[in-house]
Amino acid sequence: MNINHIILSGREILTEESGYSLLKDNAYRMMWFSSASSVLINIWKSGTIAMNTYEFMNETHALVQSLFTHKPNYMITDHREFYMRIQDEHKAFTSYQLSPVIHKSGLKRVGIILNDNLSFMADVEELIEAGDNTASVTPLQIQKFSTLHDALRWK
């Protein structure tokens, strides 16, 4: 797997020269895809601190749509700059409406990159576990990482 990337503001950022196509870049996230390695990478941005529930749902739907459009085997989602406080309604939305769809998309592995914020990590882990409890066509492997580099090296 090609793991060339650059460092920007202390974070790894993929480049198109490394074989990744930029699918989305807005105030809340960047999304990249590599057809050669069948990887979809979702990198949340610090703008998520101002994201509301409606925008969270729209961004999550866009992620699921990208899973069905590009059909990756592996998804990496980087939550190190995801600052929106996760509420019960977000957990319920993810657990009952989106997690089953993600599990049926053909995705085989998910790498989650977390920051050092312990309360946030607990929120994200709850969302992951909620997804694990849904019926899946194939088992979904989930692994936590601290860097994009490590997540890209997971085989």
Checking if the pLDDT of 36 tops 80, the result is yes
Contact between residue 152 and residue 1 where contact means Cβ atoms under 8 Å apart? yes
Tell me, what DSSP letter sits at residue 46? Answer: G
* Per-residue pLDDT band at 92 (split at 50, 70, 90): confident
Query: What is the rounded CA–CA span in Å between residue 77 and residue 60?
Result: 12
The boundaries of the domain holding residue 45 are 5-153
Confidence at residue 40, expressed as pLDDT on a 0 to 100 scale: 95
Give the tokens for residue 89.
């309604």
Structurally, the chain folds into a number of domains equal to 1
Contact between residue 24 and residue 30 where contact means Cβ atoms under 8 Å apart? yes
Could you read off the pLDDT of 97-127 as tens digits, one per residue? 667 777 778 889 989 888 766 555 566 656 5
pTM of the complete model: 0.81
Checking if the pLDDT of 8 tops 50, the result is no
Query: What is the rounded CA–CA span in Å between residue 150 and residue 144?
Result: 10
Percent of the chain with pLDDT over 70: 70
